[in-house]
Amino acid sequence: MDSSIEKVVSLCKRRGFIFQSSEIYGGFSAIYDYGPLGIELKNQISQLWWREMTHAHENIVGLDSGILMHPKIWEASGHVNAFNDPLIDCKHCKARFRSDEFEKDSKSTIWKDIQCPRCGTVGSLTEPRQFNLMFKTNIGPVAEKGTEAYLRPETAQGIYVNYLLVQGAMRLKVPFGIAQIGKAFRNEIIARNFIFRTREFEQLEMQYFVKPGSDDKIFQEWKEKRMAFYVDFLNIDKSSLRFYKHGEDDLAHYAKEACDIEYKFPFGWSEIEGVHNRTNFDLSQHEKFSGKKMSYFDQQKNERYLPYIIETSAGLNRMLLTVLTNAYWDDKENNRIVLKLSPKIAPIKAAICPLTKKDGLPEKARKIMDILKSKFKVIFDQQGSIGKRYYRQDEAGTPFGITIDHQTLEDNTVTIRFRDTQRQERMLTENLVDILNEST
Ligand code: GAP
């Protein structure tokens, strides 16, 4: 693992953002648990996405479909036959690799000539075998033929099979969108780079139903809008983001055009979101497999057609890793680690710190806490020296420290400390709500 990712991993554990799953049993590969600050941050990011993708657009609505769905859905979508990764084994050290990752580093495609990257043996690699990424389970008490089901590998299909119900109920006209946030599962051959590639993850997907012919233009528009989200809403450095356009040979089985938004992680440029033109592939497949009409009827023009779908598909966990990596700041000059999170998404907005544990300061601090906690996620911290408390909050990404001292008892003013500059300012307690409101 890259050393700067290790620093992020270590901070995440230390401050309660992210833990390895089942740690007391030695860990469970490629699954992570989100601690108190991790879940706050994850919720902030997903709410920001939800507001931006649904509330800000009159023609985009939400949905929450099941993780388990009729197994025929996955036959129709092509996932049963085509959702495969090519797997290579080393017969010598038993290491496993995905051959598509290999080819980037290796000029030869004759696997017997290539050295195993783990043990260095030449001639020990097997030919690639196709490996389906879907997790299977059984419905009902007996595992027998006909009871098999899959954990969804993408949330998108739940939207496609419901789209006419949603459209009818909400009286939507093309173009319109349906957004969904939910878990997806993939039995990844190699899971690495912390929460970047895991077997259980969350997707933030929006499917935009458009008239065929308008798809190319709308695809370009969504590409730009999604890139702007990272810069304007999540404060990610523009220079660390780029588009990657898929070539003919690496397009997914459903896509006419696809473009990834990539972030420059410490382990290299990698995808955080995909924007896809899925044409009418999915709807026509569901029409074929279910025997039900999936076409949209335009009443004004009196015409019926299968809409094309422009999809924006992001991983919440990858967004979180992007935000954490981008915010990590080793402030050597002041000997501190800071998470420079935007106050909009910081898990804790302010720490309320009585300077001492006596003279009525904790009681006064509690009163201020009561006013603020109805509006913001704030915490009460009276453990250790004030310097130590500030540094702890810097690591947690808390943008404001509010200190209550003896002067507070006299004139109702507090000191507010700004995380990034460490500047301190005296202000009236009544102004705190406005200051916190302005920043969030
Ligand atoms: N519905 C389209 C779809 O699922 P994808 O490119 O396979 O497309 C979309 O996945 C996004 O989901 C990716 O950009 C990534 O952010 C996230 N994602 C996919 N596999 C993941 C995994 N194993 N772990 C974490 N996130 C993953």
DSSP states along 154-185? -SHHHHHHHHHHHHHHHT--SSEEEEEEEEEE
Asked whether residue 257 falls in the same domain as residue 319, the answer is yes
Asked whether residue 40 falls in the same domain as residue 185, the answer is yes
Asked whether residue 319 falls in the same domain as residue 365, the answer is no
**Best mutation site among 190, 201, 273, 278 for ligand 1, i.e. most ligand atoms within 8 A of its Cβ?**
201
Residue 377: CB atoms within 10 Å: 17
Q: Kindly state if the Cβ of 182 falls inside 6 Å of ligand 1.
A: no
Asked whether residue 216 falls in the same domain as residue 315, the answer is yes
Whether 304 is in a domain gets the answer yes
Count of domains for the chain = 2
Q: Which two tokens stand for residue 73?
A: 């859905």
Tallying the residues shown for the chain, one arrives at: 440
Whether 137 is in a domain gets the answer no
Tell me the C-alpha distance between 260 and 266, whole Å.
18
Which structural domain range is residue 35 located in? 5-68+173-326
Asked whether residue 282 falls in the same domain as residue 427, the answer is no
Asked whether residue 269 falls in the same domain as residue 223, the answer is yes
Residues whose CB falls within 8 Å of the CB of residue 358, separated by 6 or more in sequence, listed in order: none
Residue with tokens 């074929």: 288
Tell me the C-alpha distance between 205 and 182, whole Å.
9
Residue 398: CB atoms within 10 Å: 26
Q: Which of 351, 349, 329, 350 lies closest to 339 in space, CA to CA?
A: 329
Tell me the C-alpha distance between 190 and 188, whole Å.
5
Whether 151 is in a domain gets the answer no
Tell me the C-alpha distance between 346 and 350, whole Å.
9
Q: From atom 26 of ligand 1, which residue's Cα is the shortest distance away?
A: 315
pLDDT at residue 2 in the model: 56
Asked whether residue 267 falls in the same domain as residue 188, the answer is yes
pLDDT at residue 289 in the model: 98
pLDDT at residue 426 in the model: 97
Q: What's the gap in Å between 171 CA and the centre of ligand 1?
A: 31
Specify the pairing of strand 257-265 against strand 268-277.
Answer: antiparallel
Whether 120 is in a domain gets the answer no
pLDDT at residue 85 in the model: 85
Asked whether residue 217 falls in the same domain as residue 301, the answer is yes
pLDDT at residue 305 in the model: 98
pLDDT at residue 107 in the model: 57
Can you say how many angstroms the Cα of residue 252 is from the centroid of all Cα atoms in its chain? 20
Asked whether residue 281 falls in the same domain as residue 409, the answer is no
DSSP sequence for 85-147: EEEEEBTTT--EEEHHHHHHH-S---GGGSBPTTT--BS-BPPPEEEE-PPEEESSSS--TT-
pLDDT at residue 100 in the model: 74
Q: What's the gap in Å between 203 CA and the centre of ligand 1?
A: 7
Q: Kindly state if the Cβ of 186 falls inside 6 Å of ligand 1.
A: yes
238 vs 30, 51, 254, 420, CA distance in Å? 29, 22, 30, 20
Which own/partner pairs from 142-149 qualify as long-range (CB within 8 Å, at least 24 positions apart)? 148/71, 149/68, 149/69, 149/71
Ligand 1 atom closest to residue 153's alpha carbon, by position in its atom list: 4
Given 326, 356, 386, which residue is the final one in a domain?
Answer: 326
Q: Kindly state if the Cβ of 188 falls inside 6 Å of ligand 1.
A: yes
Whether 112 is in a domain gets the answer no
CATH number for position 226: 3.30.930.10
Q: How far apart are the first and last CA of the chain?
A: 34
Asked whether residue 182 falls in the same domain as residue 260, the answer is yes
Whether 116 is in a domain gets the answer no
Given 326, 357, 378, which residue is the final one in a domain?
Answer: 326
Specify the pairing of strand 303-305 against strand 296-298.
Answer: antiparallel
Asked whether residue 254 falls in the same domain as residue 383, the answer is no
pLDDT at residue 263 in the model: 98
321 residue type, one letter: L
Asked whether residue 315 falls in the same domain as residue 384, the answer is no
Q: Which of 133, 10, 34, 21 lies closest to 74 in space, CA to CA?
A: 133
**Tens digit of pLDDT at every position of the chain (440 positions):** 555 899 999 999 999 999 999 999 999 999 999 999 999 999 999 999 999 999 999 999 999 999 999 999 999 999 999 898 888 889 999 888 888 777 655 556 677 888 888 899 988 988 888 889 999 999 988 877 788 999 999 999 999 999 999 999 999 999 999 999 999 999 998 878 999 999 999 999 999 999 999 999 999 999 999 999 999 999 999 999 999 999 988 888 889 999 999 999 999 999 999 999 999 999 999 999 999 999 999 999 999 999 999 999 999 999 999 999 999 999 999 999 999 999 999 999 999 999 999 999 999 999 999 999 999 999 999 999 999 999 999 999 999 999 999 999 999 999 999 999 999 999 999 999 999 998 87
Whether 166 is in a domain gets the answer no
Q: What's the gap in Å between 321 CA and the centre of ligand 1?
A: 14
pTM over 0.75: yes
Whether 194 is in a domain gets the answer yes
Query: Which helix (H) or strand (E) segment is 417 a member of?
Result: strand 413-418
362 vs 366, 383, 403, 408, 427, CA distance in Å? 6, 11, 11, 11, 19
Given 294, 326, 358, which residue is the final one in a domain?
Answer: 326
Residues whose CB falls within 8 Å of the CB of residue 332, separated by 6 or more in sequence, listed in order: none
**Best mutation site among 154, 206, 230, 279 for ligand 1, i.e. most ligand atoms within 8 A of its Cβ?**
154
CATH number for position 369: 3.40.50.800
